[in-house]
Amino acid sequence: FLIESYKLNLCTGFVFFLAMLTDNLFLKIHTWAQFDHSKAYQCLLDLASNISDVEANKMLHLAIKSNLYEFSKCLIARYNIDFQAGDELKGWNVFHLCVSNQRSFWIDAISYSDTSATFVHGHKDLFRFIILKEKEVDCFGMSDKKGRSILHLAMEYGQVDMVHYILKLKLGIYLSQIGTLTVDALPNITFCYRAIYEKSISLEEKFDYYTILCALAKQIAKILLDKPEELQEVNSAR
């Protein structure tokens, strides 16, 4: 069907519809089957050469909300994507979408398999993929129309793995390795602690932030107690 469809002038909406059907077909294939999903999407986009960068950006937002992870990567590879451009409704960019659990209303209607595990893993993988493309991302300060940062949304939607990864981007290591950080990292550790604490006040029990706060506070205390002389030197230099 895709090979013959070159005779048609494929519009953006129809391309996205075919991408949805393709993804649904792949979901029904056993996991042991070795298929390169991206080739199907690349073929589809080859047959839709009239799609502009503006349309591709809008389609990427919709693809993320529809759990079309491989299709999203194909769009990113092919078009000029403005990763930090927010939508008109909420001011969400692709990073806000990745850390939220917002899904298009038709996902459950056309998919008959349990996609919850795929959803969590897929959003996390896509978030990392985009971070490699757009390295200058302020996950603590880039806010939507309600003033919620990427970190705030990750906490609000209970995306624990996303929160840990955002902290890793700031600290340079995962929270499980925080004990290796020295006095030079104290400003970043303190910054992360304050960011988590300030966001947690309004979230109540929506997110288990105590473990993260304790880990950050413990390392701050360790640095202050173990290296008071070095800390004074750092403060004097500033």
Q: Please indicate, yes or no, whether residues 133 and 176 belong to a single structural domain of this protein.
A: no
Q: What is the pLDDT of residue 119?
A: 45
Task: Give yes or no: residues 174 and 206 share one domain.
Answer: yes
| Residue pointed to by tokens 């947690």 | 200
135 and 209 share one domain: no
The C-alpha atoms of residue 195 and residue 216 are separated, in whole angstroms, by 11
Looking at the structure of the chain, the number of domains it has is 2
Instruction: Establish if 170 belongs to a structural domain.
Output: yes
Q: Provide the residue range defining the domain that includes 49.
A: 1-146
Beta bridge partners, 149, equal 143
pLDDT at 232: 57
Q: Name 94's Cβ contacts closer than 8 Å, sequence gap at least 6.
A: 60, 61, 64, 81, 83, 130
State both tokens at 141: 């300060």
C-alpha–C-alpha distance, residues 119 and 107, integer Å: 11
Distance CA 13, CA 125 (A): 25
Same domain, yes or no: 79 and 166: no
Q: Which helix (H) or strand (E) holds 166?
A: helix 160-171
For residue 218, give every residue at least 6 positions away whose Cβ sits within 8 Å of its Cβ, in sequence order, or none. none
Q: Are residues 3 and 17 in the same domain?
A: yes
Residues 21 and 63 in one domain: yes
Residues 40 and 153 both lie in one domain: no
Mean pLDDT by groups of 10 residues along the chain of 238 residues: 60 87 77 70 83 93 91 93 91 93 52 46 86 88 93 91 94 94 93 93 73 93 76 50
Q: Are 73 and 27 in contact (CB under 8 A)?
A: no
